[in-house]
Each structure stands twice: as structure tokens, then as C-alpha cells.
Structure 1
Amino acid sequence: MRNLALAFAVFFVWAVQAQVKVTTDDNDLKLSALPYYSYGKGLGLTSPDSIFQLNIRFRMQNRVTYIDTEDERPAYDGQIRRLRLRFDGYVGNPKFLYALQLSFAPGDVGEVKDGENINIIRDAVVIYRPSRRWSFSFGQTKLPGNRQRINSSGGLQLSDRTINNARFTIDRDFGFQLHQLNEFQDKFSWNFKGAVSSGEGRNATDDADDGVAVTGKAEVFPFGAFAKDGTNFEGDIAREQKPKLMFSGAFQQNNLAHRTGGQLGDDLFERRTMKSVLLDAMFKYDGWAAMAAYMSRSTTENPITINPDDPTDFNYVFAGNGFDYQASYNFPSNFEIIGRYSIQHAHERIRLFAPHTKQYTLGFTKYIWEHAFKLQAEVNYDQLSYWDGDVKNNWYFRLQVEIGI
């Protein structure tokens, strides 16, 4: 009996050891096939052999607005202003990158119209970056235009961009881009960016034409690059230790465009060639930040187009120019106060339909987790001056919460 018990004990110990070895080996095999995770700007996954990398991000903006428009009853508006899902990473080699961004909120997608595409796709671009200084891209993404448009809407100090950005920006387009970057932390830096694109805006599938848009941009940093890529977000949440300054200028000629704003807007009855000039300046130091911008659009022909089947029906290119001025201070508690002033002049040929506009904005932001999680409040006053001398005064008060990863 003792021998039988001893034999059983030896067999049990051997079985347990074998099971542990099998389990351990099996787990080792499974673990070796799992991706590596990283956390920073979003959730990252990298394959064990580093053949591909995927980073996932999302963000949403929920807002409520009280609106008081002259000659109309006051109103409340509550909406999900933006809801975005973004994927980026590389395939095969870190030099071959991709970026995808999808939008789902009604304000992003826009009104669905017969015969037109749904604007869910914002970015779908492949990038070849042979070095830190050079990158080549092909696909749909933002053009190298005005600073505020290049910045993500999640990196804004106020809930929306300026009235001039809304009218004169060149936005997203499909085509080729080349960027040559020369940014250094503590010495003179510069960037050059160029693009050749369709000129029709995002998700366009209209009849092909022989007109393209050509865009060029130069950026100069007299005192070196901003900390933490601070050029790409508003306000000095990085609290620059030394004064930092940026000047930039962009020009685009959009040949035979068919929309009122080039890449944006309603369809024109005749195609027009448009020229855009976009100038920016940015300053940051120790919580203080200031921005200034000039934007303009002109056409080589009359900006007004007439429906050939109905002379009473028309549409026009929004030609004109505008200036934006913005300043802020971010307290050590990450509570920020922002002031903005914009003035917009419509071209004399469209003054009958478009007023000159002045806009005054006072905003407050509490950064909980930088721009990724913040609370915003602002009051906005607009003054519209029409061609016949009539003046209208509108204002709104808004609360917004933004959260994302």
C-alpha cells in the first residue's frame, strides 16, 4: 500500500509539473502573438514584429447655445457639434504612414442632398516620410492654408473658428502634398509646404475638368519652434519658457472652381478661378498668447454667376477680405480668458447680398486635461452692416464640453 501511495504521489507531482509546463508554454505562444499597447495621444497597438501600428482616437463636442438675433425671437440650440473618430499609424515600415478621420455629427456631415455624397470621410491620406524633414502625401486631407484651419477644431480656445475662416479658408482637398520642415527648438526655423489638388473639396465626384488648385506656404520661427508642437493648438497651455513667434503666408490659385468658397460652399452656375491670400502671426510666452490673421479671396471674373435657365436665380463667390485678432492668458490653474475681434469686408460686387461684419467674443476655458478635456463658455456679439445703411446686432451665449483621447 505504501508503495502504491508513493507511486501515486510521484505520478501526481509529475502530472502537475507537466501541466504547468504545458500551460506556461501555451501562454508564451499566445503572448508572443499579441500586439503591444501604448497610451499617449490615444490608444496604440503595435504588432509583435513591428510590421504595422494603429493608433485610435476619438473626440466629441457637446454644446448648448442661447441665440438672440435681431428681429427674431430668442432661441436655444443644443447639439453634438463634432463627433470624430481617427486612426493613424504605419504599415510595413514607419516611413509609410496613413491617417484616417471620420465624422458623424450632423454639423460635420452636413445636409444630405439628392445626387451628392455624404461627407463622412474627412481625411484619408497616405504619407511617405523618408526623414524628419521631408514628407510626401497622397489623398484627402487639409491643405497648407491658414493657421486656424490647420489646427484641429479640438485645439481651439473658443468653440468655433472665426467668421473669416468660415468664409475664406481653403480647407480639405484631394491631391499631392510636399512638406519640408526645418524646426529647431532654440534657433531660427522655417518650413515650406506645397500642394497640387483637385480644387473641388472633400469627397467630390463631379465631372472631371482641367482645373486644379495649386497651394504654397512658408512658415518662419525667429526664436525657434514652439514647445510640445505648440504651433498646432491655440493658447499657451505649455507655458513657453522663452518668447516664441511664428509668421506664415500662404497663397492658392484654384482654377475653374465650381463652389462658392472654392473647396466649400454651394455650387456655382459657372466655374470661376479664385485666388486666396492667407497670412498669420502667433506669439506665446509664459501663459500669454496672441494671434493675428489676414485672409482674402478674389476672382479673375465677376464673382456673381447666373442660372442660364432662370435669370432671376444666381449664386456668387464670396470674395473679400478680413482680419482676426485674438489674445489670451492661461493662469497657472489652467483657467484661461480669451478675447477675439474679427472684421470682414465683402467685395463691392457682392455688397448687395453680403454685409460687412464685425464680431466681438469673450471666452473662458478650463483645461482639465489640456485640449483633450476642457470646459468652455463664451459670449459673442455680431454687428452686420448692409449696403443700404441698415445695421443688425446679434449675439449668443454658449457652453461647450469637449472630451477625447
Structure 2
Amino acid sequence: MKNIFTLLIIFFSLAAAAQVDIKKTTKDNDLKLSALPYYNYGKGVGLTSPDSIFQFNIRFRMQNRATYIQNEGEDGAIDAQIRRLRLRFDGYVGNPHFIYAIQLSFAPGDVGEVKDGENLNIIRDAVVFYRPNKHWNFGFGQTKLPGNRQRVNSSGGLQLTDRTINNAKFTIDRDFGFQTHYQNEHDNKLSYNVRSAISTGEGRNSTDKPDNGLAYTGKVELFPLGVFSKDGAFFEGDLKREPKPKFMLSGAYQFNNKARRTGGQLGDDLFQKRDMQSILLDGMFKYNGWAFMTAYMQRIAKDPITINPDDATDIKYIFTGSGFDYQLSYLLPSNYEIIGRFSTQKVNNDIKLLAPDAKQYSIGVTKYVWEHAFKAQMELTMDDLNYFDGSSKQNWYVRFQVEIGI
């Protein structure tokens, strides 16, 4: 942690050493990058040198939550925690075409448990981009892959307090590698984006022994009636009250060669490497305060179960299967929003003995103070689990969460 705070001090020292030009920072210190769709309400805190060869922008956000959990057959439990605490830095050095972005996480749920021989997961994003014009972005470093819509969107732009059960099982998340993005966006006519990535396939902050397996990701987004207001594809809910109907359709595919982990970029280490494929489809509609989202996710892997060669009872498996998500909401004039979500998840036959089919039901109410940047959320969620032997289990929780950031 000492090294992290030293890094922050260096950043602030460099920014303070520059002679600040307030006019330039208020005009355009908010960098839109197709691979970094953080939700932005304002422009953060930015500094630009007088000669315009250096720009530094800083943001923070935190999520504080309290949850009452009732799992079937167990005593009720209360959980209260800082779910997310993050710092983000971005800007350019030398030329606005060369952009950097850094995001650090500090909450226990983000960093994860400290284990011997494993890396500390403070670094979420560390990437440099070359942006020659408004259409093209070329990136190198660690950041989110062009995957499913809900994962690509910042957790700060969610309507409910967590992503779906399908996102938890099938998402492809962050990785280190090269990315190329082409954007062709218009307000009121057909628009499309094409995104691709070649990455390690091992997930963030991996320093495992190198191999020759890589992950290949491609994605296409279509906006038949033009793009959403204020980059509305990057946050849930119709906070901008679209005056005309707008919708988006997207599809992503990834082949992860010689994956080491149960979820590709996420999960526990497998005992043997496996190839896996991910299919991720999304739809989004917004109009006059109404918003609807749907998603289909699937993971495919041959022989997904791996066995410890020293203990035949110890297994690790790839979660293969598929699922659908459906989410509907309406934003009242008072900036209270009512949200309902339903998810189904079906596991493949080859892991049927190891994992249940699931359904998830969620209802929520969100009060937006300053859009997604400052909001209070209340959510009730129930999970309905159905096991191979015919048994079932119902778990539920009620949660209150406050998010604030710049």
C-alpha cells in the first residue's frame, strides 16, 4: 500500500508543479474513450499545463451498502461494507492523441483476499490509447474487454446494486492486451461500432508462467435510430428521457485458448488448461423515461471438469451453460426510479451434478440526486436454485446502498 500512496503523491506533485490554465480545464478535460465507458456526471477535477502538453484528470467514487441476507436453512445475517472505493486518473501527455487511463481499487471486495503467491488486485485499469481521430482508438494495456453490455458499463451506472447472476458466471471482464475500436456514431441515423481485442486471456494482474494461449474478442454494436443521448448506452435507465425512441443491438464473441481459470479471465485456477468460447448478445431500448434491457450469455467448453492429479476428489470446473436477463424500468418526474429484473440460468449437462439451474427476481427503487453520480438504492432480490436431484432452495436479500463520486 505504501507504494500506491507514493504513486498518488507523485501524480499530485506533477499536477501542482504545472501552471494551471483554468479556461482549458473547464472546456474539455473529459476524455471519451470507447473502451472506458465510465459514467460521468460532471468533468471531475482536471489540470492542464499552459502549453497544453500535459493533462491530468482525477475522479473518485464509492459504494457503501448494508444487506440483510436470508439463505434457506441458515440463520439470517447482516452484512455492511464498503463495496467499492476507486480512484481514476486520465489525461494525455505530449499530444491529446496519446491518452492514458488508470483506475485503482481499494475496497476489500475489489482487491480480494490476500493469499500467498498471488498478486494484490489494486490495479483495475492501466492503459494507453492512440486516438488519431474521432473514429479510431488503439489501446495497449489492461482494461475491460468488449464484452457484454452490463459488464462493459461501470458498476456506478447500474440501476440495481449488483449485476445479474449471468454476468457473474459468463462475463469476460478485464484482460491485458491490444484493442482496436472503430466508432461511427450519429444522433439520428444508423450508427455502428466495431471493437476487437487480442489479450492474454488470464485476467487482470496475472503474472503466471507465460504460455502461447491468447484470447480473441470481437464485438459489433448497432444503433438503427442513432445513438443515445449523453452516451446513454453506457448507463442503465433513461435518465435523459429520450425524446425519440432509441435502441441498440450488440453481439460479442470470444475464443480463449488454453485458459487457466474457471471463468476465463475470472475464477479459480483450473488443474488443466482448457479452451473456451463465450457468446454475448445484448439489446437496449429507451424512450421518455422508460428503459428496457435484455441479454443472452453462453459459455462453451469441451471437457470442462478438471481433476487434481494428486487428489481425485478435488475438482475445478468451467461454468458452462447459458442464461437470459430481462430488465424494465421507469423514471418518475421526481427522479425516483422503479426497476424490475428477471434472470434465468441453465447449466450444461456436463456440470449438472455440480451446479444448479437458477432464476433470479429483483425489484428496486432508486433515488437519483445527481444522476448516477449520487444516488440511493433499495433492492429486494430472490434466488431460486434447482438441483439435479430434484431439490430446490430459495435465498433472498434486501439491501440499501448509497453511491457518490465525481
Per the normalisation by structure 1, the TM-score is 0.91
Structure 2 partner of 1:223: 225
Structure 2 partner of 1:345: 346
1:187 & 1:34 partners in 2: Cα distance?
Answer: 40
Structure 2 partner of 1:319: 320
Q: CA deviation at 1:309?
A: 1.0
31-40 or 278-287: bigger deviation:
31-40
Deviation digits for residues 279-328 of structure 1, max 9, x if unmatched? 000000000000000000011x2100001111111110011100000000
- Residue aligned with 1:93, SS: coil
Q: 1:363 and 2:349 equivalent? A: no
Deviation digits for residues 23-74 of structure 1, max 9, x if unmatched? xxxxxxx999334343832111111110111110000000000000000000
1:156 & 1:41 partners in 2: Cα distance?
Answer: 19
Structure 1 partner of 2:399: 398
Q: How does 1:231-242 map to 2 (within 5 A)?
A: 231-242=233-244
Gaps of 5+ in 2: 1-15, 30-41
Structure 2 partner of 1:9: none
Q: 1:94 aligns with which of 96, 111, 115?
A: 96
Deviation digits for residues 99-152 of structure 1, max 9, x if unmatched? 000000000001111100000000000000000000100000000000000000
- Residue aligned with 2:97, SS: strand
2:73 & 2:20 partners in 1: Cα distance?
Answer: 63
Q: How does 1:273-288 map to 2 (within 5 A)?
A: 273-288=275-290
Structure 2 partner of 1:196: 198
Q: How does 1:38-53 map to 2 (within 5 A)?
A: 38=26, 40-53=42-55
> Share of identical aligned residues, percent?
68
RMSD between aligned residues: 1.3
Q: How does 1:245-260 map to 2 (within 5 A)?
A: 245-260=247-262
Q: CA deviation at 1:332?
A: 1.4
Q: Is the 8 A contact 2:367 2:375 kept in 1?
A: yes
Q: Aligned residues, how many? A: 375
2:77 & 2:376 partners in 1: Cα distance?
Answer: 22
Structure 1 partner of 2:118: 116
Flag the 1:393–1:92 CA change in 2: closer, same or farther, 3 A: same
Gaps of 5+ in 1: 1-29
2:310 & 2:164 partners in 1: Cα distance?
Answer: 36
Q: How does 1:382-397 map to 2 (within 5 A)?
A: 382-397=383-398
Structure 2 partner of 1:166: 168
Q: 2:144 aligns with which of 142, 145, 155?
A: 142
1:33 & 1:241 partners in 2: Cα distance?
Answer: 43
Structure 2 partner of 1:27: none
Q: CA deviation at 1:386?
A: 0.4
Structure 2 partner of 1:306: 307
2:363 & 2:280 partners in 1: Cα distance?
Answer: 24
Flag the 1:31–1:398 CA change in 2: closer, same or farther, 3 A: closer
Structure 1 partner of 2:63: 61
Deviation digits for residues 188-219 of structure 1, max 9, x if unmatched? 00000000000000000000001000000000
Matching residue's letter, 1:392: K
Matching residue's letter, 2:300: S
